[in-house]
Amino acid sequence: MSHGPAQDKPQVIYLDNNATTRVAPEVLEEMLPFLSEYYGNPSSMHSFGGKVGGKINQARERVAAALGCDPREVVFTSCGTESDNTALHSAVSARPDKRHIVTTRVEHPAVLNYVKLLEQQGYSVTWLPVDKHGRLDLEHVREAIRADTAVVSVMWANNESGTVFPVREIGAMCREKGVPFHTDAVQAVGKIPVNLKEFPCDYLALSGHKIHAPKGVGALYVRKGMLFKPFMIGGHQERGRRGGTENAASIIGLGKAMELAAAGIQDENTRVKALRDRLEKGLMGAIPEALINGDPVNRLPNTLSIAFMYIEGEAMLLLLDQFGICASSGSACTSGSLEPSHVLRAMGVPFTYAHGSLRFSLSRYTTEAEIDTVVRELPKIVARLRAMSPFSADSETEGQHKAVAACAVERSTE
């Protein structure tokens, strides 16, 4: 039976892979039998359930192989957020006498808001700043760690700017001082090599849907010997570390996705990176008064956060949408809040640029033709919106924008 012609599908140029990714066909293929015929409960004693349990174990081994750790150090969760929350919950409740936490201003809300909650409960928190490229100063980290620090939590790479943090060095500092180190590696896994063999980290969070597995599955690495307190209380699943019947098909999908991610690292750092650079060069060459948000050197190979002066992100996104181009914006108007993203604010990106920021994030499926479409269309969109803006260079309001820009820079560096 025909399901209609393939061209009925919308033409999509999907460049928002830091938000989510498409499920890889190989992943889907492995999952499908476990959504249909093999529906046994992995905890059951019968062999029908045992088959599912066996596949979950294989997934655990695949995740462990991709991370370079022992399978017993992998706990499956429902998402990156649960992994982050579990790590922090575990670290603080295992050492109740320690009442201080070190983290950064640019963490994902999964860490940011959990730490804020702990702050409200009386924990003291050192919020580490970043510089204009979104980089951390290692000296700040060193100074922040105290005798009563319960945990240091620093993301491996930032989802918006793509800036990669020196987690190895931070982990080593923590180890030296005997403080647990957690890293949210949701954006790093699959994009840069993550090998936990000899890596000084105690908890690491990852998420399935950022690496071509489905949404609703994640994993937490917990180093052997680390004190652990479950976040989800229930049955004996995950060796008592996370109650609840396993999301079997998704876990199996995650295992396959991790295998593919490890195999694809090379491609990510050569072909995908070259496409990202082509996009960056094309846009910077065609659009004046643009700037790159993020570390020029240590940045995720798939991520380009770029800001255009005088215009606003949502308007650009909607016009890009006309061409089927999916990106995201750090601007306020797209997010439901009114201020630009906390990451861009922490980086001190002036308001003049922050409101007009776009993030493109590529994947293994991105093609050269797609990149060329963006390079062809976006400059026209920017020009069109700038022509409409009272702040554009030829406007009488230009004097005002300079004053506002100056005040914005001042404000953002407060």
Partner 1 sequence: MWEYTDKVKEHFLNPRNVGKLDDANAVGEVGSLACGDALKLYLKIDDKGVIRDAKFQTFGCASAIASSSVLTELVKGKTVEEARALTNKDIAGFLGGLPKEKMHCSVMGQEALEAALKNYWGEKYVAPTGEGELICHCFGVTDEQIRRAIRENDLKTAEEVTQFTKAGGGCGECILDIERLLMEVRGEQAPAEGVAPVAEEKKPKRLTNIQRMQLVSKVIDEEIRPSLKKDGGDIELIDIDGLNVVVSLRGACVGCPSAQLTLKQLVERRLRETVEPDIVIQEAQ
Is 333 considered catalytic here?
Answer: yes
Please tell me whether residue 357 binds partner 1 under the rule CB under 8 A.
no
Q: Write out the binding residues for partner 1, residues 186-205 only, by CB under 8 A.
A: none
Cβ–Cβ < 8 Å for 309, 100: no
Structure tokens at 236: 């004996």
Nearest distance, CB of residue 158 and partner 1, angstroms: 22
Closer of 229 and 384 to partner 1 (Cβ)? 384
Query: Segment 120-149, which members bind partner 1 (CB under 8 A)?
Result: 120, 122
Q: How far apart are CA 90 and CA 338, in angstroms?
A: 34
- Cβ 220 to partner 1 shortest distance, Å: 26
Cα within 13 Å of Cα(365), Cβ side: 14
Helices (DSSP H) in 178-288: which residue ranges? Answer: 248-267, 273-286
**C-alpha distances out from residue 203 to 59, 108, 176, 228, 273, Å:** 19, 16, 16, 10, 28
Q: Map tokens 């039976």 to a residue.
A: 1
Interface with partner 1 (CB under 8 A), residue from 74, 332, 344, 382: 332
Helix H or strand E encompassing 195? none
Interface with partner 1, residue 11, by CB under 8 A = no
Asked whether position 337 contacts partner 1 by CB under 8 A, the answer is: yes
Tell me, residue by residue from 308 to 327, as one string, x for binding to partner 1 by CB under 8 A and - for no binding. --xxxxxx--xx-xx-----
Provide, rounded to whole angstroms, the least separation between the CB of residue 259 and partner 1: 33
355 interacts with partner 1 by CB under 8 A: yes
Q: Could you say whether residue 400 binds partner 1 (CB under 8 A)? A: yes
- Tell me which residues in 253-312 interact with partner 1 (CB under 8 A): 310-312
| Phi, psi (degrees; rounded to nearest 5) at 255 | -60, -45
Residue 215 CA to chain centroid, in angstroms? 14
CB atoms within 10 A of CB 376: 12
Q: Which is nearer to partner 1, 90 or 331 (CB)?
A: 331
Q: For residues 72 and 356, what is the distance between their CA atoms, to the nearest angstrom? A: 46
Catalytic-role residue among 69, 79, 201, 333: 333
Helix segments in 296-337, DSSP class H: 313-321
Minimum distance between the CB of residue 12 and partner 1, rounded to whole angstroms? 14
Piece in contact with partner 1 (CB under 8 A), picked from 139-147, 193-201, 362-370, 397-405: 397-405
Residue among 260, 249, 258 at smallest CA distance from 28? 249
* CA separation for the pair 324, 12 (Å, rounded): 5
3-class DSSP state for residue 399? helix
Phi and psi at residue 246, to the nearest 5°: -65, 145
Residue (195 or 337) nearer to partner 1, CB:
337
Shortest distance, CB of residue 339 to partner 1, whole angstroms? 5
Total chain residues near partner 1 (CB under 8 A): 38
389 part of the interface to partner 1, by CB under 8 A: yes
Binding residues for partner 1, rule: CB under 8 A, are 120, 122, 310-315, 318-319, 321-322, 331-334, 336-340, 351-352, 355, 387-391, 395, 397, 400-401, 404-405, 407-408, 411
- What are the catalytic residues? 333
